[in-house]
Amino acid sequence: MKIVTISDTHQKHINLKIPDGDMLIVAGDITEGIYFLGADRFNAWLGTLPHKYKIVIAGNHDFYFQDQPDQVKEILSNAIYLNESGITIEGIKIWGSPWTKWFYDWAFNIPIGTDADYWKKVPDDTDILITHGPPYGILDTTKLRNEPAGCKELLKTVERIKPKLHVFGHIHESYGTYTNKETTFINTSICNEKYEPINKPIVYEYRL
């Protein structure tokens, strides 16, 4: 299965060149605030893409998704919306969560000291894990401080369940891929640290 991944489009999706594929994964930060128009326009854009499966999670900029979860499900009619939930597609078990470690009280911020509680929910048999934020120490280095900004409890979860693929974004300047013996990690942030949409979607060939 050919999987196309994007994240952190920040309402700059319209001019992106999205490769063809079987599945499109969107790892959050679709909008720039509380208004539904960003989600509505993103959904309309998704409807123009040919991918058979389109999976979306929210991110820390997507306040509307946090505040109006029921409306978001209705708006995203052209996608499968995951919010601490999962789906099985052609035998592939996928889990998506928008939550990130606490950062200045943005949307979907995990209260300090409770990280482990959120990641306990990820099933042990997950094949593809989609989160907005990265695990600690993997494609999570910030340019300003040159230090890791990922979640240590999320890393423990990834090491425990060993998904075949982990897709995320959030830390724009750490765009790229990394593979260890068990998991391919993709930071698929489209925007750089200046919020310029200069990065390309990252494609992954998933083999059953």
In tens, the pLDDT along 2-56 reads 999 999 999 999 989 999 999 999 999 999 876 777 899 999 999 999 999 999 9
Query: pLDDT tens digit string along 62-97?
Result: 999 999 998 998 999 999 999 999 999 999 999 999
Q: How far apart are CA 38 and CA 30, in angstroms?
A: 7
Residue type, 59: G
Q: Strands 85-89 and 92-97, how do they pair?
A: antiparallel
Q: Is the pTM value of this prediction over 0.95? A: yes
> If you average pLDDT over residues 173-183, what whole number do you get?
97
Residue type, 78: N
Q: What is the dihedral of CA 41, 24, 89, 109, to 10 degrees?
A: -70
pLDDT value at 143 more than 90 = no
End-to-end C-alpha distance for the chain, whole angstroms: 8
For CA atoms 29, 33, 34, 37, the dihedral sign is: negative
Which residue matches tokens 């999987």?
A: 3
Residues contacting residue 117 through CB under 8 Å, at least 6 positions apart: none
Average pLDDT of the chain is 95
Angle at 32 between CA 201 and CA 148, to 5 degrees: 60
Q: How far apart are CA 120 and CA 137, in angstroms?
A: 20
> If you average pLDDT over residues 121-137, what whole number do you get?
98
